[in-house]
Amino acid sequence: MITLARLKEVLWVVAVFGAVAIVARLLGGLGAVTDLSDAMPWGMWKILNMVAGVALATGGFALAATVYIFKLEKYRPVIKPAIAVAFLGYGSSCFALFLDIGLPHAIWKPIVFWNHHSFLFEVAWCVMLYFSVTILELAPTVLEKYGFEKWIGLLHKVSIPIVIVGITLSSLHHTSLGSLFLVMPARLHPLWFTSWLPVLFILSAVGAGIFMVVLVSLAYARLYGRPLQLPVLSGLSTAAAVILGLYLVAKAADLVLRHQTGLLLSGQWEVGFFAAEVVLGAVLPILLVAIPATRKSPTGLAVASVSAVIGLVLYRLNVGVTGLLRTSEVAYFPSLTEISLSLGLIAMAGLVLIYLVENYRVFENTPAKTHLVSASAGVRALDRPGRLRVSGSMSAPARISLLVVISASVALAAFSAEAFEGVELDRSPIRPPLGVNKARTVLLINGDRDDDAVRFPHQEHIERLGDDASCSKCHHLNLPGDQSSACYRCHRDMNRKTSIFDHASHVAKLDGNWSCQQCHDAEKPKNLANSKACDECHADDMGLEPPRTGRFDFWARSYADAMHGMCVKCHEEEDQKAGEARLATCQACHGNQHSQEAGSPAEERLGPLTEGETK
């Protein structure tokens, strides 16, 4: 048994999670809070909140057409709830879109920059205009409370033109939302890709949108204990079922005409999603409405409308996400932040709807006074100063405040740190080489451990370059505790990037306190960002090619840069001496990388190999 108080509490908790997620998205950026990638650039926010959210708001224009154009006065009582749902559906969609686009501050740009070839352009304009229409349609309901008779009279005079504009805009963008996916013939699964997408989208949207109005009316009657207008709701459901029937026929005909019925028996996992969408979105609601017993029972209608709404959301998600997964290389599953924001926006819309219903004449028979006073009116939250009484006798505002604080804290803790601080790119450490054998005469240089390794005959190099005396020709600092070489001036330990630069010795060498300006910009804070690049002084030491100037990054760009580029440099010099291209070719080092010894198999065979410090 859901009571109004419980429902509000749940909505508040979800909405708070959403609010924290919104903050995270604005601070951390899209990449930090979502699971989106180049392969799946559109996710839950765009498809569920925007595409499906708008679709579920079609009740507004469908009922406007029924009452104002076809003059079926019987349905007048549900027109205001339908408009309220439309207003919230479009409002929350616009808000979701604002958060979903990479540059929220640029959301106004489609007003100025036009591309009339783009379906998205049409959708953007129609949604913008129709949202304005819903505001105008909702305005009398709000204004009447404050007695703006003149304004209401004016709005009533232009109501028919507004309604006609609204319906026209709706019929345009609800088809265009389907057409958005016409540009993806190679990507979208053939179960869903069809040139009939615009038609299927508007039919399913209108059917489910009307069911949405039925659902809201049923919920209102139940939560606020008001009498049901069952005949009106049955009538609406019948109309919605007829439209969904058309949708079902169109969908079946489309599969047959495209010769894709075989797909249904193909055993692909997409078929399950397709079946769920068809059964929930069309078959079940139609059946429940067709049977007189369920059509005339609130429960039957509730099940039918919930099913239709879920089915519609599933259809949109299938076209926008599920159907694209097979052709995209990368999987997508919404992150916790993404889901929180998505559901949070829906909960916020629910709370606004409750507010509208409780404060304005959205429904003809307004809520009884007893329902407006908090359901569990009780003792004050603070029983004694400083001690919180967490019990059923708390007043509703106190309970909700407590829940808000708790859920905000939980959300802050649950979302990843990345969500607030932005993407911390994984600068994977360059790992020291592995020994191919126990004696480490041959090394496997595999810095990022991705199996693209170079098999480096270390012992052979030592012998060829002059035994122990030769070490300094390449390096010093992989010898633990070595302090005798010139490199020690800068590097304590090459595997520890934090000690790669020795500030103290630079200060000492460059004349103590007067040395700052030799490296740092005098006018700016003295930190890494405002300092000279290492290679401005140490270009020779570092063996860098002249063009590669600028700041020295703390990770190797490629193997060609390994050991400050000395491998490649030395090989080239050797080749010049010999007069033939032998060592300085790709094959010289990389030719054996797919051989038996190379790559991770070596590790498996020889067991764990000693590694130095890896961080």
Q: Which stretch binds another protein (CB under 8 A): 301-309, 422-430, 503-511, 564-572?
A: 422-430
Q: Is 39 in the site for another protein (CB under 8 A)?
A: yes
Closest separation in Å from C-beta 342 to another protein = 17
Cβ neighbours, 10 Å, residue 615: 8
Shortest distance, position 255 Cβ to another protein, whole Å = 17
> x/- site string to another protein, residues 582 to 611, per CB under 8 A?
----x-------------------------
* Residue with the two structure tokens 């190099």: 461
Contact stretch for another protein (CB under 8 A) within 106-114, 267-275, 311-319, 366-374: 106-114
SS3 327: coil
250 binds another protein (CB under 8 A): no
The amino acid that residue 544 corresponds to is L
Angstrom CA distances, 450 to 125, 425, 454, stand at: 48, 17, 11
Under a CB-based contact definition with an 8 Å cutoff, are residues 612 and 433 in contact?
A: no
Quickly count: other Cβ atoms within 10 Å of residue 438's Cβ: 10
Interface of this chain with another protein, residues 40 to 79, rule: CB under 8 A: 41-42, 65, 68-74, 76-77
**232 lies in the site for another protein, by CB under 8 A:** yes
Nearer to another protein, 380 or 582 (CB): 582
Question: At 123, which amino acid appears?
Answer: V
Measuring CA to CA, how many Å separate 525 from each of 164, 376, 444, 498, 518? 62, 58, 43, 20, 14
Which of 6, 326, 427, 438: binder of another protein (CB under 8 A)? 427
Binding mask 482-521 for another protein (x = CB under 8 A): ----------------------------------------
Least distance CB 198 / another protein (angstroms):
7
Residues numbered 174-213 forming contacts with another protein, rule: CB under 8 A:
175-176, 179-180, 182-187, 195, 198
Single residue of 428, 499, 518, 530 touching another protein by CB under 8 A: 428
According to the binding rule CB under 8 A, does residue 291 interact with another protein? no
**168 vs 600, which CB is nearer to another protein?**
168
Q: Which is nearer to another protein, 108 or 514 (CB)?
A: 108
Task: Determine, following the binding rule CB under 8 A, whether residue 146 of this chain makes contact with another protein.
Answer: no
The binder of another protein chosen from 103, 373, 413, 469 (CB under 8 A): 103
DSSP assignment string, 530-587: GB--HHHHHHHHHT--TT--SPPPSS-SSGGGGGGGHHHHHHHHHHHHHTSSSSSSHH
β-strand partners of 224: none
| Count of residues of this chain found to bind another protein when the rule CB under 8 A is applied | 84
Q: Return all residues near 292 (Cβ < 8 A) that are at least 6 apart.
A: none
Q: Pick one of 5, 7, 23, 107: the residue that binds another protein (CB under 8 A).
A: 107
What is the helix (H) or strand (E) element at residue 435, kind and residue range? Answer: strand 434-435
CB of 399 to another protein, least distance (A): 35
Question: From CA 317, how far away is CA 212, in angstroms rounded?
Answer: 18
- The sign of the CA dihedral 308, 313, 316, 322 is negative
Q: What three-state secondary structure class fits 388?
A: strand
Using rule CB under 8 A, residue 336 touches another protein: no
User: Does the footprint of another protein cover residue 129 (CB under 8 A)?
Assistant: no
Separation between Cα atoms, residue 10 and residue 400, nearest integer Å: 9
Q: 443: which strand partners? A: 435, 456
Going from the C-alpha of 251 to that of each of 48, 246, 262, 266, the distances in angstroms are 21, 8, 14, 18
- Binding of another protein at residue 413 (CB under 8 A)? no
Among 27, 290, 479, 581, binds another protein (CB under 8 A): 27
Options 8-16, 203-211, 409-417, 423-431: segment touching another protein (CB under 8 A): 423-431
